[in-house]
Amino acid sequence: MTTIIDGNEIADRIRADVAERARRLNDEGVTPGLATVLMSDDGGSKTYVSMKQRACEETGIEGIHHEIDPGEPAEVLFDRIDRLNEDPAVHGILVQMPVPDHVDTRTVLERIDPMKDVDGFHPENVGRLVAGNARYKPCTPHGVQKILAACDVDTEGKDAVVVGRSDIVGKPMANLFVQRDQGGNATVTVCHSRTADLAAKTREADVVVAAAGVPEMIDGEMLSDGVTVIDVGITRVEADTEKGYELVGDVDFESAKEKASAITPVPGGVGPLTIAMLMYNTVKAASLQSGVPVDLP
Ligand code: GUN
């Protein structure tokens, strides 16, 4: 029997816990605030940001959305970040990635006050994560850990194979898996576009996290029986549907589910967790900045 993991159900439970902590902060006169900044015309990015804003409403977080025309100079974005850094009502700042080519991503990430960096992408927060003293765990890999915990998959002593080495998912995922901590203690292999024999690596895995952004690159032939498969990929592929596209993961779901003991679908797997963990980090940010303690699970 293969478990098809319901990401929405797990995310709903986390969101309810986070909303409860947001209410507690509110009782102390602190309304958690999240500023989202979009500098892109990309349809996917627009959808993701509006989902993040909707989640704020449902969680008792004050969501403030900022849009900057992607044709504007980089300074317009930097100035906006400076203003948000100074605004005491804003506890978290999320600049939706990617930004336009003329805007240097590193400068954006370093411009955000590390205390407000609810993505966990600022070098200070990356360093803390690697050092085993995370302030804000990046939302998607943290969500993957929550999925594994909810499915009673203990990573300790297991072979975890991460496919993809992005700063947003692959690298922080590998770092979380390797930590001496709950959801860690795994033996970690990171595969990427230069990996010589990907299938040889994925076949050895107890847990595969697919985060390369290449539709259906991992199929059942590349997996062993009983593996747990977490599909982070979500690519819009042209299709004869009402919207003109469909969302496709990095895993060929039909063949992979014949091998897996548990597998996430796309959509409805990891995506809802990414948003839930952003709410989590925002409430944590409000707690750290106000000095009002909350015990986040
Ligand atoms: N683009 C894709 N995923 C993410 C994310 O987790 N955070 C931000 N800021 N941009 C993204």
Residues 130-149 have pLDDT tens digits of 999 999 999 999 999 999 99
Q: What angle do CA 258, 269, 11 make, to 5 degrees?
A: 140
Residue 33, token pair as written in the block:
């605030």
Q: Distance of CA 109 to CAs 64, 67, 119, 142, Å?
A: 19, 17, 9, 19
Distance between Cα 108 and ligand 1 center (Å)? 13
Distance between Cα 259 and ligand 1 center (Å)? 30
Tell me what the mean pLDDT of segment 240-261 comes to: 97
CB within 8 Å of 195: residues ≥ 6 apart? 201
Closest residue by Cα to residue 148 from 230, 212, 203, 219: 230
Distance between Cα 265 and ligand 1 center (Å)? 20
Report whether residue 139 contacts ligand 1, using a CB cutoff of 6 Å.
Answer: yes
Q: pLDDT-derived band of residue 239, with 50, 70 and 90 as boundaries? A: very high
Q: pLDDT-derived band of residue 166, with 50, 70 and 90 as boundaries? A: very high
Residue written as token pair 């993809």: 164
Superfamily of domain 139-272: NAD(P)-binding Rossmann-like Domain (3.40.50.720)
100 neighbors 42 (Cβ within 8 angstroms): no
DSSP secondary structure string, the chain?
Answer: --EE--HHHHHHHHHHHHHHHHHHHHHTT---EEEEEE----HHHHHHHHHHHHHHHHHT-EEEEEE--TTS-HHHHHHHHHHHHH-TT--EEEEPSPPPTTS-HHHHHHHS-GGG-TT--SHHHHHHHHTT--SS--HHHHHHHHHHHHTT---TT-EEEEE---TTTHHHHHHHHHSSSTT---EEEEE-TT-S-HHHHHTT-SEEEE-S--TT-B-GGGS-TT-EEEE---EEEE-SSSSSEEEE-SB-HHHHTTT-SEE--SSSSSHHHHHHHHHHHHHHHHHHHHT------
Closest residue by Cα to residue 19 from 208, 238, 280: 280
Report whether residue 95 contacts ligand 1, using a CB cutoff of 6 Å.
Answer: yes
Half-sphere exposure of 145 (CA within 13 A, CB side): 24
Q: pLDDT-derived band of residue 268, with 50, 70 and 90 as boundaries? A: very high
pLDDT tens profile 19-49: 999 999 999 999 999 999 999 999 999 999 9
Query: Which sequence positions are flagged as catalytic?
Result: 52, 96, 119
Q: Identify the pLDDT of residue 206.
A: 98
User: Residues of the chain with pLDDT > 70: what percent?
Assistant: 100
Strands laid side by side in the 228-231 sheet: 3-4, 262-263, 228-231, 207-210, 159-163, 187-191
CA atoms of 229 and 8, how far apart (whole Å): 17
pLDDT tens profile 45-95: 999 999 999 999 999 999 999 999 999 999 999 999 999 999 999 999 999
51 neighbors 275 (Cβ within 8 angstroms): yes
Q: Identify the pLDDT of residue 193.
A: 98
Q: pLDDT-derived band of residue 276, with 50, 70 and 90 as boundaries? A: very high
User: Residues of the chain with pLDDT > 90: what percent?
Assistant: 100
CA atoms of 44 and 267, how far apart (whole Å): 13
Mutate to test the pocket of ligand 1, among 34, 137, 168, 232 (most ligand atoms within 8 A of CB): 168
Report whether residue 119 contacts ligand 1, using a CB cutoff of 6 Å.
Answer: yes
Q: Identify the pLDDT of residue 149.
A: 98
The domains of the chain are located at 18-123, 139-272
Mutate to test the pocket of ligand 1, among 37, 47, 97 (most ligand atoms within 8 A of CB): 97
Other Cβ atoms closer than 10 A to 295 = 8
Same fold across 18-123 and 139-272: yes
Please give the number of the atom of ligand 1 that sits closest to the Cα of 119. Answer: 7
Tell me what the mean pLDDT of segment 225-244 comes to: 97
Distance between Cα 39 and ligand 1 center (Å)? 12
Give pTM, 2 decimals: 0.98
Q: Identify the pLDDT of residue 143.
A: 98
Please give the number of the atom of ligand 1 that sits closest to the Cα of 274. Answer: 6
Q: Identify the pLDDT of residue 245.
A: 96
Distance between Cα 84 and ligand 1 center (Å)? 18
Mutate to test the pocket of ligand 1, among 94, 232, 236 (most ligand atoms within 8 A of CB): 94
Q: Identify the pLDDT of residue 278.
A: 98
- Tell me which residue has its CA closest to atom 4 in ligand 1: 97
CATH 3.40.50.10860 at 18-123, yes or no = yes
Closest residue by Cα to residue 45 from 100, 108, 7: 100
Report whether residue 51 contacts ligand 1, using a CB cutoff of 6 Å.
Answer: no
